Amino acid sequence: MGRVVHIDCCPICGSNSLHKEFSAVDHFVSQECFDVWICGHCGFRFTQNVPDEQEIDKYYESADYISHSDTEKGLMNRLYHFARNMMLTAKAGHVTRATGLRQGWLLDIGSGTGYFAHLMTEWGWTVRAIEKNSQARHFAQEHFGLKSDDEEAFNTLQDKSFDCITLWHVLEHLQHLNIMGDKFYRWLKDDGALLIAVPNNTSTDAIHYGADWAAWDVPRHLWHFSPATMQLFAQKHGFKIMKTIPMPLDGFYVCMLTEQYLGHKMSFLRGFWQGACAWVSSWGRKERSSSLIYVLKKV
């Protein structure tokens, strides 16, 4: 393995009382093991010794990387696409409700193949889409005529220029967590809304599967949030959490993927069943939901 990022103080609270919790396997690309560590002070979990920015790209190189390559092969992918269309409209609704605006300026970070950014454009929003992966940017351009920029564009964004910033399952991939947290604050208008969707490692399905839970997704997921640690992240960067919204479909997907990785017979049905159990157990208890959308506003 090449160069790695070793973390010796907690990115959230600064404590150096960190220890390894377990090892998880990268089932998706490399089959390598990575360690998930926890901060003994605030409980924040992170992947330790991840490949650095130059090395990490190869861990994204898989034909199955559906959020980028947009393949519709296989039942899992078809379900993913069906779920995505349902979720897209829901996400757009969350933006308008969180901002109280029907139209405005939106920054979508990690816009991928551009489905959400495109929908928001159709809804009349002025969208700035940023995506690291050049294939995904190319897809967005070809498919939707949507222009997205690479990460260099972060340097050109004006302070207080967006009504809404969205990160749909993106924050957990960003190497410079706190630098980005400060930037979100700067780029957002004072009454703007920051929407962050991330997997929840205190969810029923995370606890059920333990180290096998597919949403650890090491080493691509660098940070593993729970409602408690998202609260600390929000505070650290001058935000408060206004609302948390469960994403039940994500739970089904993660459970089915986990069962597939485990190589169980009838993994689809078992995953569906576990997803259903996890969903029922999260009724009225959002902290158990597989993934959560956090709606943040400036304090």
Handedness of CA 198, 200, 204, 210 (dihedral sign): positive
What angle in degrees, to the nearest 10, is found between the helix axes of 74-99 and 115-122? 40
85 binds Zn ion (CB under 5 A): no
Q: Of the listed pieces 42-50, 135-143, 151-159, 235-243, which binds Zn ion according to CB under 5 A? A: 42-50
Give the separation between CA 106 and CA 112, rounded to whole angstroms: 15
Nearest to 95 by CA among 87, 106, 86, 84: 106
- Asked if 234 is part of the footprint of Zn ion (rule: CB under 5 A), the reply reads no
- Kindly state the smallest distance separating residue 78's Cβ from Zn ion, in Å: 40
39 or 257, CB closer to Zn ion? 39
Paired with 46 in beta bridges are 37, 223
Toward Zn ion, which CB reaches closer, 44 or 216?
A: 44
Distance CA 29, CA 26 (A): 6
C-beta of 15: minimal distance to Zn ion in Å? 5
Among 13, 76, 88, 277, binds Zn ion (CB under 5 A): 13
- CA distance linking residue 54 with residue 61, whole number of Å: 13
CB closer to Zn ion out of 211 and 228:
228
Q: For tokens 């003994």, name the residue.
A: 40
Q: Does 41 interact with Zn ion (rule: CB under 5 A)?
A: yes
> Considering the rule CB under 5 A, would residue 232 count as an interface residue with Zn ion?
no
Contacts with Zn ion by CB under 5 A: the residue count is 8
H-state helical runs in 124-262: 134-144, 177-187, 204-209, 227-236, 248-262
Task: Give min distance, CB of 232 to Zn ion, in A.
Answer: 8
Closer CB to Zn ion, 5 or 13, in the complex: 13
Contacts of 133 (CB under 8 A, 6+ apart): 60, 68, 112
What residues from 236 to 255 belong to the interface with Zn ion (CB under 5 A)? none
- Using DSSP's 3-state secondary structure scheme, residue 45 falls into strand
Q: Which is nearer to Zn ion, 38 or 292 (CB)?
A: 38
Q: Which of 34, 37, 44, 253 binds Zn ion (CB under 5 A)?
A: 44
Give the residue, chosen from 10, 36, 127, 194, that forms a contact with Zn ion under the rule CB under 5 A: 10
Give the side-chain half-sphere CA count within 13 A for 165. Answer: 30
Asked whether the beta carbons of 34 and 23 are under 8 A apart, the reply is: yes
Q: Which of residues 183-222 bind Zn ion (CB under 5 A)?
A: none
**What is the sign of the dihedral through the CA atoms of 260, 209, 88 and 44?**
negative
Name the residue nearer to Zn ion (CB basis): 101 or 198. Answer: 198
* Residue 4 interacting with Zn ion (CB under 5 A): no
Residue placing its CB nearer to Zn ion in the complex, 39 or 106: 39
User: Applying CB under 5 A, which of residues 42, 206, 214, 292 lies at the interface with Zn ion?
Assistant: 42
Residues that bind Zn ion (CB under 5 A): 10, 12-13, 15, 39, 41-42, 44
